[in-house]
Amino acid sequence: MSEPVSERTRDPEQQALEARVRSYVGLEEGPPFTCPDAVNEPMIRHWCEAMGDALPVYVDAERAKESVHGGIVAPPAMLQVWEMRGYAMHDPKLLAPNRQRELHGVFDAAGYTGVVATDTEQEYRRYLRPGDRVTAQTRIEAISEQKTTALGTGYFIVTRTRFTDQRGEEVGSVSFRVLKFRPKVPAAGAQEHTAGAQERTAGAQERA
């Protein structure tokens, strides 16, 4: 449960931050990204094996031919898989700069260094088939008012990625929301309690 921060508690520095971050709303993250691989059966098979999904229209070419699809199709939930950037995703410094990372940097500089994904919504327009070429375009859709949450005070950021095929037709979209927050600092009493507990634990381990 989150609560909005009262207007009276907003100082000029916070207002300046909010004006700056809101200038990103409505902007594209960067240029459209054409996924490096066409939709293909090996990746479909690997994903299905990992997810434990053995539906014949995904993994059995002969049975898929007899279905309403007339051949292999990709599971709709794989939509975002096609735009995954590979190994570089483990370290943002290896990825090309874009407006979403720039926005997160603005929040980081203001002390909102925590980030947690909160929810996602996906929409599918049609099944993807082997050979389809997918292009993804991400837009920064919204930034909330400042909220106070159990994790700390912060802002919710919503992005929407639109996926199109080789004909430019939309095949689906993904909305993703994260919370950028200022981590709570433990109270002095809590820190002392933790330190005392650690000392008692260490003492017990030495006696053992």
- Range among 145-149, 186-190, 196-200 with highest mean pLDDT value: 145-149
Instruction: For residue 138, tell me if it sits in a domain.
Output: yes
Per-residue model confidence as pLDDT tens digits over 58-106: 999 999 999 999 999 999 999 999 998 877 777 877 888 899 999 999 9
pLDDT at 87: 77
Q: What average pLDDT does range 31-59 have in this prediction?
A: 96
Range of the domain at 128: 3-36+99-207
Instruction: For residue 139, tell me if it sits in a domain.
Output: yes
Q: Check which CATH number belongs to the domain holding 118 and give it.
A: 3.10.129
Give CA–CA dist 181/2, Å, rounded. Answer: 12
- Is this structure's pTM higher than 0.85? no
Instruction: For residue 104, tell me if it sits in a domain.
Output: yes
Instruction: For residue 13, tell me if it sits in a domain.
Output: yes
Q: How many domains does the chain have?
A: 1
3-state secondary structure the chain: CCEECCHHHCCHHHHHHHHHHHCCCCCECCCCEECCCCCCHHHHHHHHHHHCCCCHHHHCHHHHHCCCCCCCCCCHHHHHHHHCCHHHHHCHHHCCCCHHHHHHHHHHHCCCCEEEEEEEEEEECCCCCCCCCCEEEEEEEEECCCEECCCEEEEEEEEEEEEECCCCCEEEEEEEEEEEEEECCCCHHHHHHHHHHHHHHHHHHHHC
pLDDT at 6: 54
Instruction: For residue 179, tell me if it sits in a domain.
Output: yes
